[in-house]
Each structure stands twice: as structure tokens, then as C-alpha cells.
């Protein structure tokens, strides 16, 4: 009798722990339905390859970015497949709040300074407030300080300025896969020919697939709308990997764009993948905490 009773009572006990756990799980589910959970880590860093992702740096975080693009791969052995030449961009990004970041940069390519801010308008979330996508707005201004081609004609300071407005609509579909759309409007105060448009339109698509917890494969493509693009330019296509190690993210990539600020890679790409006008490059990101978060 004792054996049977003992059996029944142990039986009951294991059952009991599950029922008390089930009660807890029920409570958790109810409170989850009343809370909003925001999606995190849609991308590993604030840049996909050349362009922005929907990610921001956190409040009080400074992100130092050093980006390099080497010369064309089709330069052959003489140029060591492009490694003899490099353009670079140094940049500093800073998170004012968790939804607003600002950044400045300087590219050696055409001696360009750039500045931007990125504001998260909507955040992907589940629970009480449901939002399928994250939407960010990124306006960028670029200042080209290269000496004017023809110093004898009347040159205006405004001719050095370029403006880009981007809306980035991104969604983390699963733990590994995220995708985004980047409609882009650019304005150039000065273009080479009178027939060329000053207002340019493009739409970008980009995504990442995680290969492991610390590595992901990224791709980015900007399609320029015919009639709103400069003649002789091509669409920017870039493929790369993100490798994350603690506070650093290394991004290695191949791209047909040499410039690294929005106005150059979106609307002034001239490289053709099929001809081997491809640039190998990398971005290194290192974050520092400045403010109290």
C-alpha cells in the first residue's frame, strides 16, 4: 500500500510543480498582451554596407566609424587588385536619444564633409501596440570642398552642397532575416550639364541574413529612377559580411561604388560589376559610452 501511495504522491508532486508553473505562465502571457515589446537588433550596426539601416546607436553612445574603399579589382596585379589606392571616410555618430542620432564625416573622395541625423519615426513592435515595421528618416547634407574645376568662372558656395533625404522602412522578419526599403530623394545644386536633372530619385532595397550569431551576410541595391538620374551613372550594388566581436563590428564588402556618402554612392556610382569595376572595402565601427544611459 505504501508503495502505491508513494507512487501516487510523487506522481501528484511532479504534476503540482507543472500546474503552479502553468499558472505563472498564464500570468506572464496576460501581462505580455498588455505590454508592448519593441523589436531589437534588426541589423548589427547603423550601416548596411554604404547606406543606413533602421538601426540607431543608443543614447549617450558614440560610434567611431572608419571606412575604406580600395581601388578597382580590375586594376590587376600592377595595382595589387586595387589595394594600392584607397579612399576613406572617418565618421563620428552620436546617440542623443534612443530614437535620434546625429553624425558627421569626412571623406577623402572629392574632399567631402557630410552630416546627418536619423530619427526613428516608428518602431516595430508586438503586444499591445502592434507595428509591423520600423521607419526612420535620414536627411544628409554633403559639402564638397574640392577646388572648383574652373576657378575663373563665377563659383557659388551653394554649388558645393548636396542634399539627400531617405526614408528607411525595415522589418525583422525572423531572428536571422531582416529586410528594408529605402526610397531616396537627392538634390544637387550644381550638375555638369543643363540637360541633367537637379532632383534625383532612387529606391533602395537591402537585407541581411545571419550566418551565425556573430556574422551576417548583407546586400544593398539602389535603383535609380530613369529620368531622375545623372547620365553615365549606374545603380549601386554591394554585398558584404558583418563580423561582430564585442564592441567592434567589422564590415567587409565588395561594391561598385567608390564614394561613401549618400550623394556619391546612390547617384554617382559609375562602376560596372560585369566589367570588374568593383571596390573591396571595409568599415570598422567602435562604440564608446559617453553619457549615462
Partner 1 sequence: MANLRFILSCFLFAGIVFSSAMAQTQLGTQNGKISFASDAPLEIIKASSNEMRGKIDLTRKIFAFTIKTSSFQGFNSPLQKEHFNENYIESNRYPDATFSGKIIEDIDLAEDGENVVRAKGNLTIHGVTQERIIKIKMTTKNGVMNIKSEFTVLLEDHQIAIPRVVNEKLASEIKVEVKATLMP
Could you list the residues that contact partner 1 (CB under 8 A)?
1, 4-5, 8-9, 12-13, 16-17, 20-21, 23-25, 27-28, 31, 37, 40-41, 57-59, 61, 98, 175, 213-214, 244-247, 287, 289, 293
Rounded least distance, CB 245 to partner 1, Å: 5
Rounded least distance, CB 288 to partner 1, Å: 9
**Judging by DSSP bridges, how do beta strands 100-107 and 61-72 pair with one another?**
unpaired
Q: In this complex, which beta carbon is closest to partner 1, that of residue 76 or of residue 291?
A: 291
Length of the chain: 293
Q: In this complex, which beta carbon is closest to partner 1, that of residue 12 or of residue 203?
A: 12
Rounded least distance, CB 121 to partner 1, Å: 20
Rounded least distance, CB 289 to partner 1, Å: 5
Residue 22 to residues 13, 25, 35, Cα–Cα distance (Å):
14, 5, 20
The H helix count followed by the E strand count for the chain is 2, 14
Rounded least distance, CB 213 to partner 1, Å: 5
Report d(CA 66, CA 91) in Å as an integer.
6
Q: In this complex, which beta carbon is closest to partner 1, that of residue 31 or of residue 231?
A: 31
Q: In this complex, which beta carbon is closest to partner 1, that of residue 49 or of residue 287?
A: 287
CB 284 within 8 A of CB 185: no
Report d(CA 11, CA 17) in Å as an integer.
11
**Judging by DSSP bridges, how do beta strands 86-95 and 61-72 pair with one another?**
antiparallel
Q: Name residue, grid cell 526612420.
A: 136
Q: In this complex, which beta carbon is closest to partner 1, that of residue 16 or of residue 84?
A: 16
Amino acid at each position: 500500500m505504501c508503495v502505491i501511495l508513494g507512487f501516487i504522491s510523487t506522481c501528484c508532486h511532479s504534476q503540482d510543480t507543472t500546474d503552479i508553473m502553468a499558472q505563472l505562465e498564464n500570468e506572464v502571457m496576460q501581462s505580455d498582451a498588455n505590454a508592448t515589446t519593441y523589436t531589437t537588433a534588426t541589423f548589427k550596426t547603423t550601416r548596411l554596407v554604404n547606406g543606413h539601416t533602421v538601426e540607431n546607436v543608443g543614447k549617450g553612445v558614440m560610434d567611431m566609424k572608419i571606412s575604406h574603399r580600395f581601388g578597382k579589382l580590375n586594376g590587376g596585379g600592377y595595382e595589387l587588385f586595387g589595394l594600392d589606392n584607397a579612399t576613406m571616410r572617418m565618421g563620428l555618430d552620436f546617440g542623443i536619444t534612443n530614437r535620434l542620432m546625429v553624425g558627421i564625416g569626412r571623406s577623402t573622395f572629392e574632399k567631402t564633409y557630410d552630416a546627418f541625423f536619423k530619427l526613428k519615426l516608428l518602431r516595430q513592435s508586438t503586444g499591445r501596440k502592434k507595428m509591423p515595421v520600423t521607419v526612420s528618416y535620414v536627411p544628409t547634407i554633403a559639402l564638397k570642398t574640392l577646388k572648383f574645376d574652373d576657378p575663373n568662372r563665377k563659383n557659388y558656395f551653394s554649388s558645393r552642397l548636396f542634399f539627400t533625404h531617405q526614408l528607411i522602412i525595415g522589418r525583422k522578419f525572423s531572428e536571422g532575416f531582416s529586410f528594408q526599403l529605402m526610397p531616396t530623394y537627392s538634390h544637387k545644386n550644381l550638375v555638369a550639364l543643363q540637360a541633367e536633372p537637379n532632383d534625383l530619385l532612387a529606391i533602395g532595397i537591402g537585407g541581411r541574413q545571419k550566418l551565425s550569431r556573430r556574422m551576417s551576410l548583407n546586400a544593398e541595391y539602389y535603383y535609380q529612377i530613369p529620368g531622375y538620374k545623372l547620365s553615365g551613372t549606374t545603380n549601386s550594388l554591394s554585398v558584404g559580411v558583418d563580423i561582430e566581436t564585442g564592441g567592434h563590428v567589422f564590415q567587409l564588402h565588395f561594391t561598385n561604388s567608390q564614394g561613401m556618402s549618400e550623394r556619391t554612392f546612390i547617384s554617382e556610382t559609375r562602376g560596372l560589376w560585369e566589367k570588374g569595376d568593383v571596390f573591396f572595402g571595409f568599415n570598422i565601427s567602435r562604440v564608446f559610452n559617453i553619457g549615462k544611459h
